[in-house]
Structure 1
């Protein structure tokens, strides 16, 4: 069929004159697929528009791709269940899905941490590569199946900051006995070097820091941390957050509910999560560059962790991983291939990425 004939039959425009067209038919998926309504409980407060918003981006994308037939209503932490009970809510079918970090659930099994981030681990590109192309997704889903769920990458913050401290840290001795809000396996590493870890949901960090119940708290990075007001109650802001080089946020769904979905809806979910994964990282990169300048302008003191702190933490990390590999088969099954991937990925990134980045940053710092 030639173009002219097609245009006439489509009832669009011919001979320069508009012809009344029949209403465009809705996509086949919208006509033929069932209407499904899910609820999602987030581990994050609505005030954190970027990290909480990652679930909204995902839900809006699913709705658009299914012609409004499949909708997911997002609820902030505390409306249905507390933020750290998001996994339990999906397991019990209180909700169909959640938006959380897998490492919040290391109390159930330390293996949960690998899905989000473990100390001295992968950056965001390496983490995505491991999940999407190097078998990480299959390994994690086989583990998550023990809890009746599966998880999809749905946002990343990039390398995080080392947290807010009420007093300056000049050496390893200065962190001994300090109470720090810190999640995942990072808490176990910090405990090995003298810190007293505290597991506290995001919305409860500020009052704990303000009252002196804790001496330090890590959350995400400049943009979110400024919104939560930590600079008002702690002056020293340390970096890097060596425990979270590329922390993945997760969309977790009940396996039974997922299996009931039409294949087209399953595809929409996976695509929507991948889209949110990209968008969330881009938002943080855009917002953090401005927020860090704003915080310094408010008197925040940026400080790198002393080298002896990093060295002690690195040694403690390797000790912890060895302990887990010898006592936890779930951990070992995922950690061993993860470790091999990390070694090979680091070798490659040192060749081009690190060399170019280091040179460019040095030139920028020198004002050239």
Structure 2
């Protein structure tokens, strides 16, 4: 096989993700023991037509397979094959499947602290969430908590800041939220309930029909690239922003803890490196594809509207009230929430000095043409 083969190119990319030291250590250990043949199943929370999100699971399997000469294979399956999204994390913990891919918030019903590993209203942006996990101590905090449930979690991408959703009528003030039937769940739904919003649990493919039939008044999904596939601008043209409940939604690859412990160390290193590469690609693909999708949505009738300032301010207060209530009842939630707040304050100190100043200048320069 020549050095220009696709497989060797893919290995070179994976080696960059693993780091020279880690790859060298893996190579030494691989030579010292026979590499077993393993076949793992990975259940994704995302439909196969969501090419970035479901594609992340497929890419992980391809990277791991190529790096191990096909000896460690991970086969991705969509929702219901055999696990539904709401049962994904429990299925991984029970060993029904070896792996899963989806947001930690799927486990919030068992413990609300799970939601903090994904995103929380007025939490961290994508850069901050990634930094907190990889260099700010969050991986250790969550590792201890997830370990109690028989789980290991590796970051598996971030959607970036999401949109506020599709509304049949514009939200001009707090009064417009009273009684609003809004497709939203999780911590965001709990915060909005304090406004009198009525959260609705509706699967993505069913959102269009629910809005068209006026069973709901509004719905949030993800962002322009994925929202475009639903065609919601035809039945709910007001496109509000930002989705303050998910300023940087981190996804994870979930691994059964016993299966993880039984993996040869070289396989663990390869799996970690592959997950890191996939995570970077997910964010990059959204950042690359959302701008043109937003242009197409607006051309198709979407009307962009920011949430009013009074809504944002009141939502922040409501969010802090919700977190205070949860922290009083759940010691793990309190510990992680306090750590996140400390990290958020420091992160925004730095962003305010450099990132925000630079971005604000460039945005104004763009507007001037």
Corresponding residue for 1:306? 308
Residues 120-159 of structure 1 mapped to structure 2, 5 A cutoff: 120-159=122-161
Q: Match of 2:82? A: 80
Aligned partner of residue 117 in structure 2, secondary structure = helix
Q: Which moved more, 1:239-248 or 1:82-91?
A: 82-91
CA change 1:42–1:210 in 2 (3 A) is farther
| 1:56 maps to which of 41, 58, 83 | 58
Structure 1 pair 148–210 and aligned structure 2 pair: CA distance change class (3 A): farther
In structure 2, the residue matched to 1:253 is 255
Question: Separation in 2 of the partners of 1:203 and 1:40?
Answer: 22
Q: Give, in whole Å, the separation in 2 of the partners of 1:211 and 1:91.
A: 39
In structure 2, distance between residues paired with 1:213 and 1:248: 30
Deviation at 1:35, TM superposition (A): 0.6
Farther off after superposition, 95-104 or 208-217 = 208-217
Match of 1:336 among 329, 335, 338: 338
**3-state SS of paired residue (2:60):** helix
* CA offset digits 1:58-89 (Å, max 9, x no partner): 12111122121111111111221222221121
Q: Does 1:94 align with 2:96?
A: yes
**Aligned twin of 1:243:** 245
Q: CA deviation at 1:232?
A: 2.7
Shift of 1:366: 2.0
Asked if 1 retains the 8 angstrom alpha-carbon contact of 2:234 and 2:301, the reply is no
**Post-superposition offset of 1:362:** 1.0
Partner SS state of residue 99, structure 1: strand
Q: Secondary structure at the match of 1:33?
A: coil
1:93 and 1:80 map into 2 onto residues whose CA distance is: 12
Query: For this pair of structures, how many residues does the alignment match?
Result: 341
Distance 1:285 1:324 in 2: 33
CA distance in 2, matches of 1:88, 1:211: 34
Partner of 1:168: 170
C-alpha separation between the residues in 1 aligned to 2:209 and 2:89?
25
The secondary structure found in structure 2 opposite 1:78 is: coil
Structure 2 contact 85–106 (Cα < 8 Å) conserved:
no
Q: Shift of the alpha carbon at 1:39?
A: 0.5
1:355 aligned partner: 357
SS in 1 for 2:239: strand
Aligned to 1:185: 187
Any gaps of 5 or more consecutive residues in structure 2? 1-26
Q: How does 1:6-17 map to 2 (within 5 A)?
A: none
In structure 1, the residue matched to 2:69 is: 67
The alpha-carbon distance between structure 1 residues 88 and 209, as it changes in their structure 2 partners (threshold 3 A), is farther
What is the distance in 2 between the residues matched to 1:76 and 1:228?
Answer: 18
User: Residue 44 of structure 1: which of 46, 59, 63 is its match?
Assistant: 46
CA–CA distance in structure 2, aligned partners of residues 266 and 302 of structure 1: 45
2:226 is aligned with 1:224: yes
Give me the whole-angstrom Cα distance separating, in 2, the residues matched to 1:322 and 1:101.
23
| 1:170 Cα deviation after fit | 1.1
Matched-pair contact (CA < 8 Å) for 1:165–1:236: yes
2 CA distance for matches of 1:358 and 1:100? 33
Query: Structure 1 pair 132/278, CA: closer, same or farther in 2 (3 Å)?
Result: same
Bigger mean CA deviation after superposition, 284-293 or 186-195: 186-195
Pick which of 103-112 and 313-322 moved more.
103-112
Displacement after TM superposition at 1:166 (Å): 1.5
Whether the aligned pair in 2 keeps the contact of 1:84 and 1:201 (CA below 8 Å) is no
Q: Deviations over 1:245-300 (max 9, x none)?
A: 11101101110111110001111111111111100111001110100000000011
Cα RMSD (Å): 1.5
Structure 1 regions of 5+ residues with no counterpart?
1-26
- 1:133 is displaced (CA, Å) by 0.7
What's the CA shift for 1:331? 0.1
